[in-house]
Amino acid sequence: MSRELLIKNGIIVTLGEENRVLYGHALLIQDGLIKKIAPQKSFRGKYAKVIDAKGKVVMPGFINAHMHFYSTMVRGLGKAAPSKDFQEVLEHLWWRLDKKLTLADSYYSAVLPLIDAIKRGTTTLIDHHASPFAARGSLDKIAGAVKATGLRASLCYELSDRDGPKIAQDGIDENVAFIKKCAKARDPQLKALFGLHASFTIKDKTLEKAAAAGRELGVGFHVHTAEAKSDQDFNVKNFGMRVVERLNKFGILGPKTIAAHCVHVNEAEMGLLRDTGTAVAHNPQSNMNNAVGVADIIKMSRKGILVGLGTDAMTVNMLEEVRVALWAQHLSHGNPSVGFMEALSSLMFNNAKIANRYWDPKVGALREGYAADVILMDYWPPTPFDEGTFLGHLGFGLAQSFVDTTICGGKVLMEGKKLKIDVDEEEVAAKSLELSRKLWQRF
């Protein structure tokens, strides 16, 4: 039996290649897909469920192109020594943390930001995980959290040589096992990439093995790329080439690959990213928090690179992140009139293009046959609201509004700002608190 859901009385923003702002229309969802968008008067039947979206903007769920669920476990932690640069941030905090994570930690550190993502209207997340002494089985644990919350996620494990050859092999094996599992299951909620930390922690031999495995499996890679200048310095000194050049040498780049950050790439490297069709995930809040700089997404976009937006675990609120992306371009270019389209498009259009390299049915637009990933946001437009003004309303109006309803794959995950999932938020927060106390003792 078909499961039908009709959304009426809202302002529908379709996004996609031909964004439309529709008044007097309704949206019909059937069996997890968008069945029809048409004038409201054409819907006269009875439906299993009807949502009245009066006073709401109806639009696609947001997509996060680079996330780290496991960072949840350091919220409030004050035990890490002060760091003078990015390398010390890694050594004093993140590399100490990931060594101590258990499989249970991996699950609970994922389920809480996923719940928060529902509240913020983020329905698809591309995550990058690390737990070197509990690597095997970690992606299955995170996948369990994704399934429980009803969202979509692409998962990968962070391959690195920093903890020795056995741990590196565990990273390869975990990626391969999960990629094969996803390929076999064809679960629309779950996808897989081959995760790499950053080239300065991966030896040539390991890169070669990862590249071969990725080619055999037909998948792309998710890799931290020139996040800090030290990454470039290390590669030039030890390998005689820059970061993107080295990744390209081993066949890591390509249209299925996401290069996260790209703060310190030069024009030649931008050319390689463009020519290989590699996507870039910009993470402005994290980059400024770590004092590594601001990626020049204006130049990258002008060169034809597909630049999306991630949060690097700073938040799951994509509207918060996109506003920071805009201010960062203003500041870094010393010009308050640049970067608007590049920043806003990275979230509203480009993230869907990235996600649709992996997902089918497609996501990120309200269009017949696309996945029914839909959000309703409280908003009464105080000025003309149409295709030409939508991005301005998004950055300066909707970004300060509230998500009322979140739907993913046709399933209502939140309605009227109340969660509708079979996960007890209070219970999982209490369990996370218990586990984090033990983790902090081990830190």
Residue range 247-265, pLDDT digits in tens: 999 999 999 999 999 999 9
pLDDT of residue 160: 98
Closest residue by Cα to residue 236 from 206, 265, 270, 257: 265
Report phi then psi at 419, rounded to 5: -65, 140
pLDDT of residue 3: 81
C-alpha distances out from residue 414 to 38, 361, 417, Å: 24, 22, 6
pLDDT of residue 212: 98
Q: Which two tokens stand for residue 124?
A: 């698809």
Q: Is 4 exposed, middle or buried (0-12, 13-18, 19+ CB in 10 A)?
A: middle
Whether 79 has a pLDDT exceeding 90, the answer reads no
For 322, half-sphere exposure in the C-beta direction (CA atoms, 13 angstrom radius) is 33
Residue range 185-202, pLDDT digits in tens: 999 999 999 999 999 999
Q: In the predicted model, what is the mean pLDDT of the chain? A: 97
Average pLDDT value for residue range 365-389:
98
What sections of 58-164 are H helices per DSSP? 86-89, 95-100, 103-120, 138-149
Tokens 């371009």 appear where? 329
Share of the chain above pLDDT 90, in %: 98
CA distance 334 to 330: 6
Per-residue confidence band for 45, with pLDDT thresholds at 50, 70 and 90: confident
Contacts 24+ apart (CB under 8 A), 146-149: 146/110, 146/114, 146/189, 146/190, 147/189, 147/190, 148/111, 148/421, 148/422, 148/423, 149/111, 149/114, 149/115, 149/117, 149/118, 149/413, 149/421, 149/423
CA distance 287 to 313: 11
Q: Which two tokens stand for residue 213?
A: 């495995």
CA distance 308 to 63: 9
pLDDT of residue 37: 98
Residue range 131-141, pLDDT digits in tens: 999 999 999 99
pLDDT of residue 2: 57
> Pairing mode, if any, of strands 122-127 and 152-155?
parallel
Residue range 304-332, pLDDT digits in tens: 999 999 999 999 999 999 999 999 999 99
* 184: amino acid identity, one letter: K
C-alpha distances out from residue 198 to 45, 102, 183, 370, 410, Å: 55, 23, 25, 34, 37
Query: pTM of the predicted model, to two decimals?
Result: 0.98
Tokens 């109806």 appear where? 58
What angle is formed at CA 111 by the lines to CA 217 and CA 12, rounded to 5 degrees?
85
How many CB atoms neighbour CB 240 within 10 A? 9
CA distance 233 to 224: 15
Give the rounded distance of the alpha carbon of 235 from its chain centre.
Answer: 27
Q: Which two tokens stand for residue 89?
A: 């941030």
Cα end-to-end distance, the chain, whole Å: 52
Bridge partners, residue 51, by sequence: 7
C-alpha distances out from residue 334 to 327, 328, 338, Å: 10, 10, 9
Whether 1 has a pLDDT exceeding 60, the answer reads no
Strand, coil or helix: what is 255? coil
How many CB atoms neighbour CB 324 within 10 A? 20
Please check whether residue 401 is in contact with residue 427, taking contact to mean a CB–CB distance below 8 angstroms.
Answer: no
Average pLDDT value for residue range 265-269:
98
pLDDT of residue 162: 97
Whether 401 has a pLDDT exceeding 60, the answer reads yes
Average pLDDT value for residue range 425-443:
97
| Domains in the chain: ranges and CATH | 4-60+364-419 (2.30.40.10), 62-355 (3.20.20.140)
